Amino acid sequence: MAKNYAYIRISDAHKQHSHGQRTRITQYAAKHGFYIYKWYEYTLSGASTNKTQRGLIELIERLAPGDRVLVNDIERLGRDSISDIMEVTTRIINAGAEIHFCLTGDTLTPSHKNDVGQFFIQIGRAFAAQDFSKQRSLKAKAAANSRKANNLPTGRARGAIIKSKLDASENQILFWLSQDVFKSEIARRLNCSATALIKWLDRRDELICQARERGLYESGLSIGEVKRRLKVKG
C-alpha cells in the first residue's frame, strides 16, 4: 500500500514556527484523503547543511512506487542550491513517488521524468509561488511599518470579536476537557499551539460572560452564535 510522508523544515526555531507548515500539510492531506504515515520535521538551515543532515536521504531511501511526499513548498527541499533541489526532486520521482507542494497544490509525478518541459514548468511554478508568498509578506510588513510611522493602528482593535478556527471544534474541546485530557494534548490533536488553545478558552469564557450580562446568552449556545449575537448588538 502506498504511504504518505510529510516533510517539514524550518531554519531557526527562535524566528520561525513549524505550526504553519504542519497545518497546511494536514489540511491538504485531509482534503485529498491522505493519511500521513510518517512525519519528518527538522530545524536546520537549508544553506549550511547537506541532504543527509536534513533527513532527505533517509526519506528518499524509504520511498516505494506510489508513495507521496507532502511538503509545504519547494524551498523545504533545499534553499540556496538549485542543483540540490533538482537532485532531490529527481530522486523522489525516479523512486516512483509523487511530490505534493501543499502551498499551491502543484504535484510532480513519475510521469514528469519523461516530459522534461512539464518537469521544469512544475518546478518553475513551485518557485514562482514561493516568491509570490515572500513578496506578499514583504509588502504586508512594509504597510505595517508605514502605518506605525504615521501613528496608525497596525492590527486588530483590542477586544475585537473575531472568528477563530477553534470555534468549529468547541464541542470536541469541551468533551476532551471533561475527560481530563491535558490541554497540551488537545492542542496537539487540533494542530495548534497550547498557547493558542488557552487564549481561545479564556476569550470564550470572556465572551460568554459578556453575553450573559447583556441578556444574550442561552444555555447550549455555541461560541460562534455568541459572537454573532454580540456583534449584532454592537
3-state SS of 11-55 is: CCCCCCCCHHHHHHHHHHHHHHCCCEEEEEEEECCCCCCCCCCCC
Asked, for residue 107, whether it belongs to a domain, the answer is yes
Domain shared by 172 and 128, yes or no: no
Q: 71, 149, 134: which is closest to 104 by C-alpha?
A: 71
CATH, residue 31:
3.40.50.1390
Q: What is the mean pLDDT of the chain?
A: 81
More confident residue, 233 or 68: 68
Report whether pLDDT(214) > 80.
yes
Q: What is the per-residue pLDDT for 95?
A: 94
Asked, for residue 159, whether it belongs to a domain, the answer is no
Q: What is the per-residue pLDDT for 81?
A: 66
Domain end marker among 85, 119, 137: 137
Report whether pLDDT(171) > 60.
yes
Asked, for residue 154, whether it belongs to a domain, the answer is no
More confident residue, 209 or 157: 209
Domain shared by 119 and 17, yes or no: yes
Given pLDDT bands bounded at 50, 70 and 90, which one contains residue 158? low
pLDDT in tens, 6-63: 998 876 544 455 677 888 899 899 989 999 999 998 876 655 556 666 778 899 999 9
Please tell me the distance from the alpha carbon of residue 91 to that of residue 103, in angstroms, as a whole number. 21
Lowest mean pLDDT among 24-33, 92-101, 183-192, 215-224: 215-224
Indicate left, alpha or beta for 100 from its phi (over 0: left) and psi (-120 to 50: alpha): beta
Asked, for residue 174, whether it belongs to a domain, the answer is yes
Domain shared by 15 and 107, yes or no: yes
Q: What is the per-residue pLDDT for 47?
A: 57
Domain end marker among 87, 117, 137: 137
Domain shared by 218 and 177, yes or no: yes
Please tell me the distance from the alpha carbon of residue 222 to that of residue 167, in angstroms, as a whole number. 8
State mean pLDDT over 130-156.
67
Q: What is the per-residue pLDDT for 78?
A: 72
Domain shared by 45 and 92, yes or no: yes
- SS3 of 162, please? coil
More confident residue, 140 or 217: 217
State mean pLDDT over 134-162.
69
Domain shared by 44 and 122, yes or no: yes
Asked, for residue 152, whether it belongs to a domain, the answer is no
Domain shared by 8 and 74, yes or no: yes
Which helix or strand (DSSP H or E) is residue 194 part of? helix 194-213
Q: What is the per-residue pLDDT for 13?
A: 46
Domain end marker among 101, 119, 137: 137
Domain shared by 119 and 183, yes or no: no
Give how many domains the chain has, as a whole number: 2
State mean pLDDT over 180-188.
86
Q: Give me the domain span that covers residue 55.
A: 4-137
pLDDT in tens, 54-92: 778 899 999 999 999 999 888 788 765 677 788 888 899
State mean pLDDT over 128-143.
66
Domain shared by 122 and 59, yes or no: yes
Domain shared by 186 and 124, yes or no: no
Domain shared by 127 and 35, yes or no: yes
State mean pLDDT over 147-171.
75
Asked, for residue 157, whether it belongs to a domain, the answer is no
What's the grid cell of residue 128? 514562482
Measured at the CA of 28, the angle between CA 87 and CA 81, to 5 degrees, comes to 20
| Per-residue three-class SS string for 79-104 | CCCHHHHHHHHHHHHHCCCEEEECCC
State mean pLDDT over 190-215.
87
Please tell me the distance from the alpha carbon of residue 7 to that of residue 84, in angstroms, as a whole number. 16
Domain shared by 22 and 132, yes or no: yes
What's the grid cell of residue 177? 476537557
DSSP-derived letter for residue 108 is E
Asked, for residue 150, whether it belongs to a domain, the answer is no
CB-based contact 69:96 (threshold 8 Å)? no
Asked, for residue 146, whether it belongs to a domain, the answer is no
More confident residue, 142 or 71: 71
